[in-house]
Amino acid sequence: MESRSQTRRHPATWEQNTGYNECVVALENLCTQLCEYDVLPAPEELTTIQELAKEINLEESTWNFLRHSNS
């Protein structure tokens, strides 16, 4: 029987096969959490999220629902 660690795929292999990496997953998760908890990022934070998303070719639907606060 294989141990759990033996059945896991190496992160580099997973990234290569799926096109995703931990940064992409983290940014997707951040956007989801901001929305679910009704958190409004400051304008500069939203700009940073948008720039990062574009840089890593994240689908616009992942972040375009976010709105910034008026502060």
Query: DSSP character for 10?
Result: P
pLDDT (tens place) for every residue of the chain, 71 residues total: 444 444 444 444 444 545 568 888 999 999 999 999 999 999 999 999 999 999 988 888 888 888 877 75
What pLDDT is attached to residue 19? 57
Find out whether 27 and 52 touch, Cβ atoms under 8 Å: yes
Domain ranges of the chain: 20-71
Q: What does the alpha-carbon distance between residue 37 and residue 19 come to, in Å, rounded to a whole number?
A: 28
